[in-house]
Amino acid sequence: MANILSVSDAVGRLEERMQAALHRAQRTDPVTLVAVTKLIDPKRIAEAYRCGIRHFAENRVQEAAEKRRFLSLPSATWHLVGHLQSNKARQALELFDWIQSLDSVALAERLNRLAAVGKKVPVLIQVNLGNEPSKQGISEEGLLSLVERTAALPHLDLRGLMCLPPYFDDPEQVRPFFRQLAEWRDTLAARLPPGVNLRELSMGMSQDFEVAIEEGATMIRVGTALFGPRPTQ
């Protein structure tokens, strides 16, 4: 059986690879490493926190609720990256600091209604660039209207776009999808009113995050490259 890197070693290697990708892209702006903790034991999550990771992501509201009972991670930021059902919106707002998987006007309006008074919830709009029936996300045809509506809601803070492109063994085959999301971000930013900043591009995972960084990712969502193979559910 192959040796699994310690979380500490994995963090170090990831940071080296991220810096190399930034150098290739001639970028000096930071990229946020978001640790995807789906099916990961809380002890391993706490170890990642001790190694300096401050952003964590879960796919399901219920799994996040169960884990958070065993975790005390001051200053950690939690992201929801999986599909959010409307009936879980209230609980999601209690558990997560960011919603990265906003994909409909109905969900945006519900989150806005449920958000605490005086609070603006950071959100990213998930775009289904591959038009894959098995994946969530707004279609490119519906993207502009969702962006405009979300930007107008007083309790949502639209920060950018997220995508989960089709999987390819060769990361280079994913590059056009990442480039397309960056182009959408630039096109939409030019049409939105001042004060709406679509800075964030959440794209790239363990198998392709370096290509994503080269194409402008500001957030990468990494699980396997940090924690090793995910255990079976």
- CATH superfamily of domain region 7-225: Alanine racemase (3.20.20.10)
Mean pLDDT for 37-55 is 96
Cβ atoms of 101 and 138 within 8 Å: the answer is no
Query: Which amino acid makes up residue 71?
Result: L
Question: What is this structure's pTM?
Answer: 0.94
Mean pLDDT for 50-72 is 96
Mean pLDDT for 51-58 is 98
Residue 2 has pLDDT above 50, yes or no: no
- Per-residue confidence band for 230, with pLDDT thresholds at 50, 70 and 90: confident
* E strands present in 128-210: 156-163, 200-202
Compute the chain's Rg from CA coordinates. Answer: 17
By three-state DSSP, how is residue 212 classified? helix
Give the span between the Cα atoms of 77 and 121, in whole angstroms. 12
- Per-residue confidence band for 113, with pLDDT thresholds at 50, 70 and 90: very high
pLDDT digits (tens, 9 = 90+) for 8-34: 999 999 999 999 999 999 999 999 999
Give the span between the Cα atoms of 193 and 147, in whole angstroms. 11
Mean pLDDT of the chain: 94
pLDDT digits (tens, 9 = 90+) for 127-180: 998 777 878 899 999 999 999 999 999 999 999 999 999 889 999 999 999 999
From the CB of residue 168, how many other CB atoms can be counted at a distance below 10 Å? 13
Residue 200 has pLDDT above 60, yes or no: yes
- Per-residue confidence band for 1, with pLDDT thresholds at 50, 70 and 90: very low
Structure tokens that stand for 54 in this block: 């401050």
How far lies 194's CA from each of 73, 77, 198, in Å?
35, 27, 11
Residue 88 DSSP label? G
